[in-house]
């Protein structure tokens, strides 16, 4: 389980790093510069191959794994708090 969580976190970290890089690039451009093809970070991109679809699937899986891990952690914290209140 720890390996899956670590892998999910790594995928999320890579996605966030890519997002931050694009934001910094967009901020560094002058307002008068022409629009670039991928300046809409949330627009769907045309896919020549299944690579983009695979990446989306990986990110969705990472999101689900992270969500599950956070839910388990929250439940563990609730358990510890309940024990400390009872004891």
Q: For residues 57 and 50, which has the higher predicted lDDT (pLDDT)? A: 57
Lowest mean per-residue pLDDT among 20-29, 37-46, 62-71: 37-46
What's the pLDDT band for 9 if we cut at 50, 70, 90? Answer: confident
Whether the pLDDT of residue 2 is over 80: the answer is no
Computed over every residue of the chain, the mean pLDDT equals 81
CA distance 71 to 31: 43
Q: Which residue range(s) make up the domain with 15? A: 2-86
Question: Is the confidence at residue 81, as pLDDT, over 80?
Answer: yes
> How many structural domains does the chain have?
1
pLDDT at position 43 over 70: no
- pTM higher than 0.85, yes or no? no
């Amino acid at each position: 389980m720890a390996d899956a969580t670590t892998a999910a976190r790594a995928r999320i970290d890579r996605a966030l790093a890519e997002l931050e890089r694009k934001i910094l690039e967009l901020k560094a451009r002058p307002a008068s510069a022409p629009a670039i093809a991928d300046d809409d970070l949330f627009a769907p991109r045309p896919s020549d191959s299944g690579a983009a679809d695979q990446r989306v699937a990986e990110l969705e899986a990472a999101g689900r794994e992270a969500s599950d891990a956070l839910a388990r952690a929250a439940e563990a914290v609730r358990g510890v708090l309940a024990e400390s209140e009872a004891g």
